[in-house]
Amino acid sequence: MSSFVVSEALATGFKEGFKAGIIWLVLIAYLSKHDRSSLIRSFHAAVLTVLMATPLFLVYYSGPPAKDAIRNFISFSFSLLLILSAASLYHASGIKPDGPLDRSDSKAFLMNRFILPPLIFFLTVAFFLPDMLGSGSFIKDLAAIKESGRSTYISALAGFASGYLLWSIIYRTLRPLWIGGFFDIPQIFLFLSVTKLLGGGTKGLAEMTLIPSVQRGFMKFSHDFIHQTFVFLMVPDHQLLKTTTWNFIGFFFGPNIAGFAALAGILFFPLLFLYYRLFRPLPDPLAETGAERRKVKSGLLFDRRKKALPVMLFVLLVLGSWFSESGESLSKLYIPKPKPVVEDKGLILIPLKDPSMDIKDGRLHKFALQHNNQEIRLLVINKTGGLSVCLDACEICPPEGYGQRDSNVVCVYCNTPIPVDTLGQAGGCNPIPLSFEQDEQFIKIGLKELLKKREFIPTGAAGEKAG
């Protein structure tokens, strides 16, 4: 366990250091190419701020609310970069012709002195802080697993330093400042977005990239949107519309279609940029001779191709990583047999230390309570941040319950996959969450809470079975 924890901490630290290093290198190359090397100070100041803010935040703010805040912060940061890169790629693609550029000295002075430094600072903080907090929080959890957390923290720091040093050595030995010529503002934003997508995971070696989170998020969004639309339209729960139809609809919520839609959403603007920059005709420049005109045109064409190269590279990187992450096979649905539980003095007790099972093993566990000759099924599963306890039913489908496939629980009725980490959120196709208490021996659920939440389960033939 110990070496596993240390290597996880090392890898997480290395990933963060690697990201910081490569971004520093690209940024310094870009700024020096555009005679703005002095602006690198803003980047350094932001990285220092992040390095100081991360431990402070993690010391004074912890627990599930902090984890939720970090998760939201990461989503915000990635979305912000994605929007910025989409907007700048759209602007640079040439779809909308540029107006005359005002490059007066006073504007340049204002830009270099007052606009760009805080902008670089803000973007750097917005990029690094959520990732560092996410990874820091993960390392904190690792340190808690191990008896002495010191080696975990030291490993993480060593990993960070070596990841950063790697790029520092590359910079000192090869001086690859020429790469700055391949970047403009849109390419920088895209580079940051892709770096975040490919290296923004906060679950150690198990999830180095943000791709599964994006897939899950998009899956959940599309699923809730479509499903709620059907509910809103009051599609009758007719036998003909039962499993087959929902299975069909569920196919669209699944990792294939929804995942592909998320990928298409991410790559839309880069591909649009590539299409316009590579395949649209060049404007005819004004020149005295044909040779001069061709020279200006060939310069433009060369620049277009050069600036398209990183975009193409990023598209390929995202595609490769995306499909390597999407290699989840559709394994058989795992539906455990419910274990009986009893009510005692208004509480249902689920033992945490049952020799016949490990409730924190990440697999789906089901329990059944007999109440007034009716069965009420519960499910318990360990997710990031702790156990989740829900009814084995949602607010929409007839309560046929859930099974588990990979990192999703799947509704047996409509075949909709629900990412395990979203359990505990109420509404839609999610299992109805239950409030509970937990001590060293038991999960304790109030009978009143159970009966109150049972009211949300749709009634009907199938509902009778559970309710």
Our CB check for other proteins shows the closer of 302 and 334 to be 302
The interaxial angle of helices 257-279 and 185-199, nearest 10 deg, is: 160
**Binding residue (CB under 8 A) for other proteins from 2, 38, 298, 435:** 298
d(CA 466, CA 374): 7
Both tokens assigned to 379:
């499910």
Nearer to other proteins, 283 or 386 (CB): 283
**b/e code 379-414 from CB counts within 10 Å (16+ = b):** bbbbbbbebbbbbbbbbbbbbbbbbbbebbbbbbbb
Is 205 or 300 the residue whose CB approaches other proteins more closely?
300
CA–CA separation, 339 vs 321, rounded Å?
40
Yes or no: say if 294 and 349 are a contact pair by the CB < 8 Å rule.
no
Question: How many residues sit in the footprint of other proteins (CB under 8 A)?
Answer: 10
Between CA 433 and CA 443, with CA 437 as vertex, the angle to 5 degrees is: 85
Range 275-294, binding other proteins (CB under 8 A): 289-292, 294
Question: How far separated are the first and last CA of the chain, in Å rounded?
Answer: 44
CA distance 153 to 142: 9
Tokens representing 183 are 């970047």
Q: How far is the CB of 179 from other proteins (least distance, A)?
A: 22
Among the candidate windows 53-61, 71-79, 132-140, 298-306, which touches other proteins by CB under 8 A?
A: 298-306
* Nearest one of 268, 298, 270 to 282, comparing CA atoms: 298
Q: Which of 297, 339, 383, 444 touches other proteins by CB under 8 A?
A: 297
DSSP 57-100: HHHHS-SHHHHHHHHHHHHHHHHHHHHHHHHHHHHHHTSSPP--
CB of residue 293 to other proteins, shortest distance in Å? 8
Count of beta carbons in the 10 Å neighbourhood of residue 130: 24
Distances, alpha carbon 256 to alpha carbons 248, 253, 407, 410, 420, in Å: 13, 8, 14, 15, 17
Q: Which is nearer to other proteins, 41 or 294 (CB)?
A: 294
Q: Residue 10 has which token pair?
A: 């090392």
Site for other proteins contains 113 (CB under 8 A): no
Q: How far is the CB of 280 from other proteins (least distance, A)?
A: 16
Helix (H) or strand (E) run with residue 24 in it: helix 2-33
Q: Which of 44, 295, 353, 360 binds other proteins (CB under 8 A)?
A: 295
Q: Which of 257, 301, 352, 447 binds other proteins (CB under 8 A)?
A: 301
What's the rounded Cα separation, in Å, for the pair 397 and 403? Answer: 14
Nearer to other proteins among residue 299 and residue 362 (C-beta):
299
Q: Where does this chain bind other proteins (CB under 8 A)?
A: 289-292, 294-295, 297-299, 301
